A and B are shown apart, each in its own frame.
Chain A
Amino acid sequence: MTMSLAVAINTFREAVRDRVLYNLIFFALLMIAAAVLVGQISIGIERLVIINLGLTAISVVGLAMAVFIGVGLVYKEMDKRTLDALLSKPIRRWEFLFGKYAGLLLTLAVNTTLMTLGLGTALCYVGRTFSRADASILVAVYFIGLELALVTALALLFSCFSTPMLSAVFTLGLYVGGVFTADIRSLGAMTGSPALGAMGKVLYYLLPNFHNFNAIALAAHGRAVPMSLIAANTAYATAYIAVVLLAAAAILSNRDLK
Chain B
Amino acid sequence: MQIWLRALAVPVLFAGGVAPLQTRIDAQTQSVAREEEELLLRSGRLLRKLSLGYESLLADVYWTRAVQYYGRKRVGHDPHFDLLASLLDLTTTLDPHLVVAYRFGAIFLAEPPPRGAGRPDLAAEFIHRGIAANPDQWRLWADLGFLYYWDLKDYAKAADAYLEGSRQPGAHPWMKAMAARIAQQGGSRQTSQLLWSELYDSTADPNIRRNAFEHLQTLKAEEDAEQLEKIVHEYQVRFAATPTSVGDLVRAGLLPSSPVDPAGYPYLLGPGGNVLLHPSSPIASDILGSRPR
Interface size class of B (residues with CB under 8 A): 20 to 34
Contact in complex: A217, B55 (CB < 8 Å): yes
Q: Is the CB of B56 within 8 A of A217?
A: yes
B56 A42 Cβ-Cβ under 8 A:
no
Closest residue of chain B to A220, judged by CB?
B56
Least distance between A126 CB and chain B CB atoms (Å)? 13
User: A141 within 8 Å of B by Cβ?
Assistant: no
Closest B residue by C-beta to A219: B56
Contact among A42, A44, A52, A220 for B203, CB-based, below 8 A: A44
Chain A count of residues within 8 A CB distance of the other chain: 25
Please choose the segment from A1-9, A128-136, A176-184, A249-257 that sits at the chain B interface, where 4 or more of its residues have CB less than 8 A away: A176-184
Chain B interface: which of A82-90, A96-104, A208-216? A208-216
Give the chain A neighbours of B205 by CB distance below 8 A. 43-44
Residues 149-191 of A contacting B (Cβ, < 8 Å): 176, 179-180, 183
CB contact between A52 and one of B52, B56, B100, B204 (< 8 Å): that residue? B56
CB–CB A179/B52 < 8 A? yes
Smallest Cβ-Cβ distance to B204: which chain A residue = A44
Assess whether A217 is in contact with B49, with CB atoms less than 8 Å apart: no
Docked Cα-Cα span, A55 to B60, in Å, equals: 13
CB distance B56 to A216 under 8 Å? yes
* Cβ distance A198 to chain B, nearest Cβ, rounded Å: 23
Distance in Å from the Cβ of A231 to the closest Cβ of chain B? 21
For residue A183, give the distance in angstroms from its CB to the closest CB of chain B: 7
With A217-B97, A221-B97 in contact, is A42–B53 under 8 Å at CB?
A: no
- Within the complex, the shortest CB–CB distance from B149 to chain A, in Å, comes to 24
Return the contact of B204 from the options A43, A49, A176, A220 (Cβ within 8 A): A43
> A48 — which chain B residues lie within 8 A by C-beta?
60, 98
Interface positions, chain A 3-44, Cβ under 8 Å from B, are 41-44
Distance between Cα atoms of A217 and B96 in the complex (Å): 10
Any B CB within 8 A of the CB of A121: no
Digit string of B127-167 for contact with A (CB within 8 Å is 1, else 0)? Answer: 00000000000000000000000000000000000000000
B27 at the interface (CB under 8 A from A): no
Other A-B contacts than A43-B204, A49-B60, A223-B97, 15 sampled, CB-CB below 8 A, are: A42-B60, A42-B64, A42-B67, A44-B204, A45-B98, A52-B60, A53-B60, A55-B56, A59-B53, A211-B53, A216-B53, A216-B56, A217-B56, A217-B95, A220-B56
17 contacts between A and B (CB under 8 A): A42-B64, A44-B204, A48-B60, A52-B56, A53-B57, A53-B60, A56-B54, A59-B53, A210-B53, A211-B53, A216-B56, A217-B55, A217-B56, A217-B95, A220-B56, A220-B95, A221-B97
